[in-house]
């Protein structure tokens, strides 16, 4: 009884104290808010001046496969995979049935105890994880019916082994995850370093179609008369010196990271159906009419558009050779994928691009008659792209390029762009990355899509007969910096979230705009051209790119790369004060953000007055304008303010503008201008 009374008294006392406790918390919160709102002296900032190194890149440095020059190390290696594929399309069931042989060349210094397969068409199953993409149709996905390794059949139905003691047992040849986008084959006998294994796979897959697909590659046919297969066959996953097997699941939006190799592909379709795809057609005399072959023979004689198969040439014996079914044979060397398209009534046209040091290469276009207006001008846009980018970066390396009509009108593969004129320039640019420079789009989409967006700006200006203008782009990032949904560019693009498009596509041109503001746009482009040449048909990482650029530009720009790639910080510069002392003018520049930048001031003078006195860090633009620059080093001491001293003599200064070309991220450029009133 006494214990109960004591408890009640204690409880009543606790309740009685509540109002006072709540009031005290409110007072403390209000005081904290007032303290935050009150103006305070800006704290110093610590400028990070190195590039973060992950365990993966450290291992590569230790192994000698990569180094701080940004070039391939003396012991660089990459897996090779050569494919021989036979595939047959059944339009009635919308199904491809295929068999393939893959030669897996283990060029690594380590033995392989497993092979990882990519089965991207399993994204169309109902029970797999996916991102924002929505398949047009739920299918059975990639149905694998047989696998063998070096003629030994793989157990496709092996029960998974537990992790406990006694459950391991001897190695066995078995597959797991065949209903997912990433599958594994455990090997009873490892593939020795330097050895080659032969993998055989039999499979079938239905191509999804319908009106409900959302996202690229989610719709791969129009009913039963046009098919646009992509990522359509089992592929060996990427295996490299950084992480070993790449086991990132395919979620839909992010794209791919594949091995280079040779493709020998035979595609069986009904006669009358035109097939286009990666590689060079090996048997035109078996699948084309004599008229087709004659027209093709003269297609490279001029820039004119040559029609190989017209709208009224449909069916066996007219669009193709006669017969019931025909087998189209393509071969492609040194490519990282194979894509194709086919339709019963494609119009087929050809023009050319003239590549420096190589000569003319054909540009094929295949499209449906009712969509002809979408392809008007597409040949000319693509020609300009191939020729312009060949001069900008490196000569186009492949023997042909094909524009393919279909439901996914904005996607790229080696020698193939699924596009009409709308995205022709952008998709053609992808032939440099990742088709030539094999970047990892799944992790670092900015090295692919971002570089592409940058070069599209240059190409578009050239096509219009203008000088490219990158001003303002770097500064514009200040309006985005601080958005909580923005992932840093080094966050894996596969998990980019709602700002995947900005992180992967749009931020890189802003970054390279700022870089051009530091070293000059031409220097940036020359360095990327050299990078393209050095890493052609290899697989650079972000660290290779940034260290290569440091070497090529002759500056340690690690601070720059850190803030753009590993952070979402901005510069936020402003002019705080201007003080005139005789002939000297002291400009107090403030940077409120964590990212530093050089101090660039544009000084505008009165039209009349004494001649301008020279300054060692100034460029006299004209009689009334000078650009004065201080390097980023002025911030490395930690201060957020810098006093820029101007001494051009006694000519009156009318206006001073900080970052006049808009290259450095700034959320409020209105405080960058001082006017002498």
Classify residue 236 by its DSSP letter. E
Pairing of strands 416-418, 401-404: parallel
Give pLDDT tens digits for 501-513: 999 999 999 999 9
Contacts of 501 (CB under 8 A, 6+ apart): none
- What confidence score (pLDDT) does residue 167 get? 56
Contacts of 231 (CB under 8 A, 6+ apart): 118, 120, 121, 217, 250, 256, 337, 339
Percent of the chain that is helix, strand, coil (3-state, to 5) = 30, 30, 45
- Is the pLDDT at 17 greater than 50? The verdict is no
Residue tagged 């991220």 (tokens): 665
- Is the pLDDT at 5 greater than 50? The verdict is no
Give pLDDT tens digits for 215-269: 999 999 999 999 999 999 999 999 999 999 999 999 999 999 999 999 999 999 9
Among 167-176, 267-276, 459-468, the range scoring the smallest mean pLDDT is 167-176
Distance CA 145, CA 230 (A): 20
Q: How confident is the model at residue 158 (pLDDT cuts 50, 70, 90)?
A: confident
Contact indicator for 260, 438 with CB cutoff of 8 Å? yes
What percentage of the chain exceeds 70 in pLDDT?
Answer: 92
- Helix, coil or strand: residue 352: strand
Q: How confident is the model at residue 171 (pLDDT cuts 50, 70, 90)?
A: confident
- What confidence score (pLDDT) does residue 27 get? 46
- What confidence score (pLDDT) does residue 64 get? 98
Q: Which of 546, 543, 445 is nearest to 501 (CA)?
A: 445
- 579 is written with which tokens? 């003080």
Contact indicator for 421, 381 with CB cutoff of 8 Å? yes
Q: How confident is the model at residue 164 (pLDDT cuts 50, 70, 90)?
A: low
Contact indicator for 450, 502 with CB cutoff of 8 Å? no
- Helix, coil or strand: residue 574: strand
Contacts of 220 (CB under 8 A, 6+ apart): 136, 207, 208, 209, 227, 228, 229, 230, 232, 406, 407, 408
Contact indicator for 349, 305 with CB cutoff of 8 Å? yes
Q: Per-residue b/e over 387-396, b at no fewer than 16 CB within 10 Å? A: bbbbebbbbb
Question: Up-side HSE of residue 491: CA atoms within 13 Å toward CB?
Answer: 16
Among 168-172, 266-270, 320-324, the range scoring the smallest mean pLDDT is 168-172
Distance CA 123, CA 250 (A): 7
- 136 is written with which tokens? 């047009």
Contact indicator for 382, 428 with CB cutoff of 8 Å? yes
Q: How confident is the model at residue 20 (pLDDT cuts 50, 70, 90)?
A: very low
Pairing of strands 182-191, 80-90: unpaired
- What confidence score (pLDDT) does residue 148 get? 98
- Is the pLDDT at 6 greater than 80? The verdict is no
Distance CA 143, CA 119 (A): 9
- Residue 509: alpha-carbon gap to chain centroid: 12
Q: How confident is the model at residue 398 (pLDDT cuts 50, 70, 90)?
A: very high
Distance CA 632, CA 557 (A): 10
- Helix, coil or strand: residue 273: coil
| Cross-strand bridge partners of residue 114 | 186
The pTM assigned to this predicted structure is 0.92
């Amino acid at each position: 009884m006494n214990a109960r009374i004591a408890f009640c008294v204690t409880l009543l006392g606790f309740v009685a104290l509540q109002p006072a406790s709540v009031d005290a918390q409110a007072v403390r919160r209000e005081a904290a808010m007032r303290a935050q709102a009150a103006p305070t002296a800006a704290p110093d900032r610590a400028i990070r001046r190195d590039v973060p190194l992950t365990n993966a890149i450290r291992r590569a440095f230790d192994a000698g496969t990569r180094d701080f020059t940004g070039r391939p190390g003396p012991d660089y290696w990459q897996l090779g995979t050569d494919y021989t594929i036979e595939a047959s399309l059944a339009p009635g069931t919308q199904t491809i049935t295929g068999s393939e042989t893959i030669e897996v060349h283990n060029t690594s210094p380590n033995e392989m105890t497993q092979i990882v397969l990519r089965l991207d068409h399993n994204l169309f199953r109902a029970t797999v994880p996916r991102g924002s993409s929505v398949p047009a149709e739920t299918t059975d996905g990639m149905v694998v019916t047989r696998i063998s390794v070096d003629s030994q059949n793989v157990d496709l139905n092996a029960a998974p082994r537990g992790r406990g003691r006694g459950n391991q047992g001897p190695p066995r040849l078995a597959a797991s995850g065949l209903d997912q986008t990433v599958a594994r084959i455990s090997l009873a006998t490892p593939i020795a370093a330097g050895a080659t294994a032969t993998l055989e796979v039999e499979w079938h897959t239905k191509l999804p179609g319908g009106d409900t697909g959302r996202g690229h590659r989610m719709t791969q046919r129009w009913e039963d008369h046009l098919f646009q297969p992509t990522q359509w066959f089992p592929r060996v996953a990427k295996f490299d010196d950084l992480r070993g097997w790449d086991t990132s699941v395919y979620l839909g939006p992010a794209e791919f990271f594949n091995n280079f190799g040779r493709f020998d592909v035979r595609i069986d379709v009904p006669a009358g159906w035109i097939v286009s795809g990666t590689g060079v057609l090996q048997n035109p005399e078996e699948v084309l009419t004599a008229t087709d072959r004659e027209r093709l023979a003269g297609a490279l004689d001029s820039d004119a558009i040559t029609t190989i198969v017209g709208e009224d040439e449909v069916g066996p014996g007219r669009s193709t050779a006669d017969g019931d079914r025909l087998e189209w044979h393509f071969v492609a060397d040194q490519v990282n994928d194979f894509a194709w398209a086919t339709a019963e009534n494609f119009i087929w046209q050809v023009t050319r691009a003239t590549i420096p040091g190589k000569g003319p290469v054909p540009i094929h276009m295949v499209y449906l008659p009712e969509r002809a207006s979408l392809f008007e001008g597409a040949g000319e846009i693509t020609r300009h792209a191939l020729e312009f980018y060949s001069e900008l970066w490196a000569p186009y390396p492949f023997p042909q390029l094909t524009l393919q009509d279909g439901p996914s009108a904005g996607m790229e593969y080696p020698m193939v762009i699924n596009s009409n004129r709308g995205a022709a320039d952008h998709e053609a640019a992808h032939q440099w990355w990742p088709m030539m420079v094999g970047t990892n789009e799944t992790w670092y989409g900015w090295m692919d899509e971002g570089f592409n967006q940058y070069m599209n700006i240059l190409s578009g200006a050239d096509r219009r007969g203008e000088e490219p203008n990158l001003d303002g782009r770097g500064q514009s990032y200040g309006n985005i910096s601080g958005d909580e949904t923005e992932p840093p560019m080094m966050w894996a693009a596969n998990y980019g979230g709602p700002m995947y498009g900005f992180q992967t596509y749009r931020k890189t041109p802003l970054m390279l705009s700022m870089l051009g503001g530091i070293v000059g746009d031409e220097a940036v482009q020359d360095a990327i051209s050299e990078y393209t040449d050095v890493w052609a048909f290899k697989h650079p990482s972000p660290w290779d790119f940034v260290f290569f650029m440091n070497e090529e530009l002759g500056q340690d720009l690690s601070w720059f790369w850190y803030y753009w790639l590993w952070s979402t910080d901005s510069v936020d510069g402003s002019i705080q004060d201007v003080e005139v002392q005789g002939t000297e003018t002291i400009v107090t520049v403030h940077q409120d953000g964590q990212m530093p930048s050089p101090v660039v001031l544009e000084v505008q003078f009165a039209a009349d007055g004494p001649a301008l006195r020279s300054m060692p860090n100034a460029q006299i633009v004209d009689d009334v304008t000078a650009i004065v620059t201080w390097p980023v080093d002025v911030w490395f001491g930690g201060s957020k303010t810098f006093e820029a001293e101007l001494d051009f003599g006694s000519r009156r200064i009318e206006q001073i503008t900080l970052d006049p070309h808009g290259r450095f991220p700034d959320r409020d450029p209105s405080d960058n201008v001082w006017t002498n009133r």
